[in-house]
Each structure stands twice: as structure tokens, then as C-alpha cells.
Structure 1
Amino acid sequence: MTIRPPDPGEPRRPLGPRDPGDAWVIADSGEKYWGRFGAAGLLAHDPERGVLLQHRVSWSHFGGTWGIPGGARHQGESATDAALRESLEEAGVPGDALAPLFTSVLDRDVWTYTTLVATVTRQFEPVIADPESNALEWVPLTEIDALPLHPGFAGSWPELRGLLSTRATLIVDAANVVGATPDGWWKDRAGAAERLLTKLEGIHRDGVPSDVFGLSGERWFPRVVAVLEGAARDAASSGLVEVVRAAAAGDDEIVAQADAAVRKGERTLVVTSDRGLAERLEGVGAATRSVSWLRAQLPD
């Protein structure tokens, strides 16, 4: 593998300090890939208008083809952050108008490309914000295959398209999770629940491995639901995690939430180490994971 900076005219970036990631990676085979630390792009899907695609200028790598906004990752930058930054720089995509669904990674050993797939939650119009685009358009799903696609996007598009309508839901038995940590939670159940909700925001932000939902891709960003019962119902929430305050038995509410999610076709996973509850959840078609699994996913 060889690293070298771009040749004159390949690819052009806005004026300003160049990040160390803005360089070609040359594989032993001679193939070259843009981004010393890998690259990332955003597939923004608007259910009403389709996918936001970029028509690449002729001088760019695979110029004249259609693909998604993206580019080289910066040094120390996560793939998700890179996809959001690049889509903002190239197409004016507002990050707060998106709900991430999952990431998918193309791994070439010496280089990776991560696609962040997200649903548009608030419609916006893209803006050509740098010299790398001839056009930016919302393209209906049925029309994408007819376009001259960037080879990388063409190779990944069939699988990505098949997952656009898939949704994942993570339901947390908060009482079971809190009760497994001997930190004095019994003295302040609402406070302990609030600490858990804050940690669950990490799942909302970073997602979980795709295999826990039996899905392809790298990581999924599920809808996170925490069921609170008893004194814990008074816990405050920032709103990033859906909080269900059980009117009666927490187990009954958890089963009801799981049943509703499964009936809507969502891949549903419940975190609990309660064997009796796990059996009830299996009966409605929901999978379960232990409290220890969740704790391994959460920030310290």
C-alpha cells in the first residue's frame, strides 16, 4: 500500500488547510482509493422523493457518474461523522433532518468505504456547495438503476435498497438493568433510571452491531424504548430515548410494546435477564439479550 497526495486536478477540495486524510491509497494491485483513513458517504432516503444523488463532475474520480455525497475521512474522525460532514460540505444536507438507520462497510483491506443510510425526517433542498457536483437530485428508487452509477455505489445499491424499509427496535427492561448494578439504586430509583436513560443515548448515537438483529450491514441505529415502572417512572428524559411509563406491571408493558413492534414488522430485541419474561417475549416473536450484553454496549 502506498499513500500519495492528489495529483493536480484530482479531486479538488474547498480552499483551506488540507487534512492528512486527503490522499490516495494505492493498493499493491495498483488500484487507488481516495482517503488515507478510509472514506464515507451518506445515502439519504426521503420516502416521498427517493434518494439524494450527486452527479459527479467530469474531472473527479469516475466523473460523469451518479453516486452519493461523500469523501475522505479526516484523521480521528468516525465514519458516521465523516458522512454527515461530507454531505453538508457537498450538498448542504442538515444533519438534524436525518434519522440514521444503519451503516454498511466496503472493506478493501487497505481501505474502507462506509455508507451511512438515513431516513429524511424533515424535507430540505440540497445545495451544490463545492465544485465536485454537476447536479444534486432526489431520484425515485425505480429510476436509479437506469442512471450511469459510480461503480462502488452500483455494487452496493441492490443490498442497500432492500434494507431501506427495515426498522429495528430495542426495548429495555429498565428495572432489570438498573437492578443488576449495585450502585445504591434502591435509595433513588428515579435517579438510577435517569442515569440509565443517559447511557442509552449512546445507543441512539452509536448504534449496535447488526448481527444482534439478524441483519446485514455493520451497525444499526434502532429505535430505543425504555420501560419504567414504580418509583422509576418519575425519571426525567432528554427525549432521545422513548420512555414508556408503565401504569401497572412493567413486564406486561414490555410484552405489549414488543408485540406492537413485531406486528409493525420491526426487528425487535428486548434487553432483560428475566427468564420468565424472555419466554413471554419469545411467544410474541421478539428476541432477547441479557443485561450483561447491554452493559457491554453502553459507555462507562
Structure 2
Amino acid sequence: MKNKRHLAPVAGALLLVAGTAASVSLLAGSSATAAGSPSSAFGLELSIAGNAVIEPLPTVTSTDGAPKSDSLVGLPKNPVASGGIINASAQNGAATASVTDLAVGDGLLAIPQLDALTQPLGKACDDLTAALGQLTQPLDTTVLAPLLTNLQGVLDQIGTATKGTPLNLGALGALDISKLTKLELNGLCDVLRGKLRIVGAGAVEAKCTGNSGTTTIADLAALGLPVTIDTKQANQAIKIPDVAGVPPIIELVVNRQTANADGTFTVDALYLNVLDQIKLTVASATCGNVTSDRVPAPDDAPAPKPVKDHVPVTG
């Protein structure tokens, strides 16, 4: 059943207009309860600094096992994420969720506290990018040391300026940028200057049936770099940078699968953690089963059966 949100007020009005007799006929009848755990799905959930920015949406739950679905075009206004079409559907033993045109981190630093740092950040990134373009080796810290120090100083200032704000970027100051590869450094600078999204994907989809699930992701990229990952394998994780003892800028988990305590099974197509501040779950499907133990209510009456007979006619 397609969820049509605008019908609820109309249905309520119809119930009131119909009068007492109609209300009784709707509320009486069979009593039924559902046993088990229902299937459910949602398109996207976002939190920043531990605060919910986008509650799971659109979200559907099939409490009686019947098909339920919902969809949205675009996301509510927020500082970091955008999407195209977001779908969610669920029924007994199956669920699906999908998001198209996912973009995370466009204009990450477009907040008033950082206006004064925009110019020095751009200058530091331009100098670093020019130097990186002349290198044939991965990184020459001897040549780049002064430039890296300069950029690190700006990142420290960004971390300090965002303390106490909804988006605390203090982790940028803790990042050892000398551990980034040449391409990762270029990507980070483009993200900070608002020229590149942190993570993007053309399409993200999660499906589950029973206690198994699949994930499909098209054109996944992080810091402008294509991410090649086997989505057929469960719980695949990527960190950038992936260096022991260095806090990552980005942590991705693809095809995250969880067997839940209530017997349901969940597939999250994509989980994203940025600087331990931005946490995003994209396309989540949970499979469960419910059974109805419908018991006839006392006022239930059997349907009348027609009886064929000849009735004498007089007059």
C-alpha cells in the first residue's frame, strides 16, 4: 500500500461527518493483534555532533505484513547532505530503501564563524596544490614541510573557531595531514574550499529478504576519488587516511548487516562518519515477520447465505 500522507486529515473529516452510526461500524467488528516483529525501511538518517538533524525519513513499517511504501524528492534543509529521490518500502519478510544523487559535505565550511579563515585557507591550499603538482613521488615531506605546516595551522584555527558550534571540526586540527596521499590532500583542499563533496554516489540501495540482504551503490566517491569496494561482501569498511594511530577524516561502511536481538535482520547500504561529527546512514532495510491471531469479536455475525425457495404471491 502506497503511503499518501495528505489523506490523513481528509479521512478524519470523513469519519466525523459520517456520524455516530458510521463510527460504530468502523470501530466495532473483529479484534486482532499481530505477533512477531515487523519489517521496516528508511531512506536516510543524519546526526551532527550527536544531535539528530534528519530523523529517519521517509520511514515505513509494515505492522500487519501488508506492503507499505513512501517516497520523497529532496531532503529537508541541512548543512551537509542532499539527495534526489528517496524511497522506502516494506512488507512481511522483505524491505527496500534507496537514495539517488547523494551528496555529503558541499559547502562544509560555509558557516559565519569561518568567514575570516576563508582567504588564508584558500591561499594555503593553492600553494600546496601547486607544489603537489610538481612532485612525481607520493609525498616529499622535506619539500612540502613548510606548506603542510601552514595548512595545518589554518586547520587548527578552524577547529578552534568551531568549538561550541553545532559542527565542531576540532578533529581537523588533530589530523596529521602529512599522512595523506597526494590525491587525498588535493581532495581535502577542494572539499574545504567548497569545490568538492566529501562523499557522493549516483545511487544507493539496500534490500533484504528474510535474514539475507544486498547492497548496490553506483559511482561512489570520497574526496573526489573513486571508491572501489565489493558491495557483495558484508560490512566492508574504508578509512581515509587508513593509517594506524591517525584519526580518519572519513570512515565508510558499505553493506552493513546486523542480526538484531528481536529476530529481525537489517541492511544499511552505506554508513558514513566524517571527523566523528557527521554520521549518516543511507538506505536502511529491516526484515521481520508478523502473524495475525485474529479473534472474532462478540458482535461479529456470519455473512447471510441466500436460500432459494418459492414464495406464494397473492393479490
TM-score normalised by structure 1 residue count: 0.22
Which structure exhibits the higher relative contact order, with contacts defined as CA atoms closer than 8 Å and separated by 6 or more residues? 2
* Greater Cα radius of gyration, structure 1 or 2: 2
Which structure shows the bigger proportion of residues in strand conformation? 2
Higher helix share: 1
